[in-house]
Amino acid sequence: MISMPTPEPSAGRPIDRVAIVGTGLIGTSIAMAAARAGCTVRGWDIDPGTAARAASRSALTAYATSEEAVSDADVVIVCTPIGAVASSVASALRAAPGAVVADAASIKEHVVAEIRAVADPPDLRRYVPSHPLGGSERSGPEHASASVVDGIVWAVTPTDAVDPEAVERLERWIGRIGAQPARLSPERHDRLVAFASHLPQVASTSLMGLAAAEEAGEPEILLLAAGGFRDLTRLAASNPSLWSEILLANRDQVASAIDLYVSRLVSIRDEVLGGRGGDVERTFDEAKRARLRLATKPTVRAGVAVVQVEIPDEPGALARITAVLGEGRVNIEDLQIVHSPEGGRGTVHVTVAAAAAEEAGDVLVAAGYDPIRLA
């Protein structure tokens, strides 16, 4: 039997036909963002009911088999649980010989190794490992939205086996649907997400578990939980089986991150026990300044200043900011709101004339806000 060469994805053709394998929260959200960008979208899920709910919320057309869904796609995004990614990617590569195939798994080294073991080697030129860093503690297509994709970093982690043109086509499409492609190696990706994603989940779960255990003898403890506690433990409501799978797949990097976190906690404990107020304050100040840098900074034009203000994510919050500045006769040149990935609040960037920056700050402080001038 003569082996035929694997067709390469068309370099000049834009990605217009999208297939989603796995129509949960992230898969359906990607489908909605793709449809918004003018793509036609097909989808399949192992649970027909999930696929039907995804179709009812989006422009996705559900198909009975994954092979039918991906057959003529320009790009296939596999959004299944980690344990099913390898077989799903290999199947998509076979069924869609002209498509770029990517996955949305939050672990890369483990997944790439599994795919290499089951996929035909020539097909690996069209497999681009990736990870859209969006979502929430909720699950299912009922909670999907195109806004889940808006502005998120979408890690693209190609290996040496991948055709560079396939990588570039995927990155162009990611930008087209509203996300920001960021290229890095699978190894570096896994090390960074262990700190930026997996460790926060562990910390949130541990804190909630500790509070629940303490509640057995102190039933009022959760009644006294303030906003900070609720913010920190939000992630503890995440899908247990999903996170068990993620943490075990990235076990070495997660263990290293936990060790460093424990070391930092011990350091703070020692500062407190030793009565070293200056060290405690310095630790908090460094963390505060680092946290403030997380907010997206807009491009600043000459002659203007940008003032950052945190507001609750609730009806009327933005209107109150603009009303306060209007009453203070501060003209708004531009305004941008960035929703917090933690949920419940947002960051407003108010652009004003540079000469009015101090006045804007004074007006906001008088109204009870805590503005920070960025530029």
pLDDT at 342: 42
As a whole number of Å, the end-to-end CA separation of the chain is 67
* DSSP letters spanning 167-220: HHHHHHHHHHTT-EEEE--HHHHHHHHIIIIIHHHHHHHHHHHHHHHHHTT-TT
Taking the C-alpha atoms of residue 324 and residue 344, their distance in angstroms, rounded to an integer, is: 22
Residue environment code for 5-26, b if the CB has 16+ CB neighbours within 10 A, otherwise e: ebeebeeeeebebbbbbbbbbb
Q: Label residue 12 by pLDDT band (50, 70, 90).
A: low
pLDDT at 137: 62
Q: SS3 of 9, please?
A: coil
What is the set of domains in the chain, with CATH numbers? Answer: 17-184 (3.40.50.720), 190-292 (1.10.3660.10), 304-373 (3.30.70.260)
pLDDT at 331: 87
State the pTM of this model: 0.69
Taking the C-alpha atoms of residue 14 and residue 35, their distance in angstroms, rounded to an integer, is: 14
**Which positions ≥6 away from 343 have C-beta within 8 Å?**
136, 234, 313
Element (H, E) at 336: strand 334-339
For the stretch 54-97, pLDDT in tens is 999 888 999 999 999 999 999 999 999 999 999 999 999 999 99
For the stretch 324-345, pLDDT in tens is 999 998 988 878 777 554 445 6
Contact 152, 123 (CB under 8 A): no
The whole-number average pLDDT for the span 142-152 is 83
Taking the C-alpha atoms of residue 24 and residue 30, their distance in angstroms, rounded to an integer, is: 10
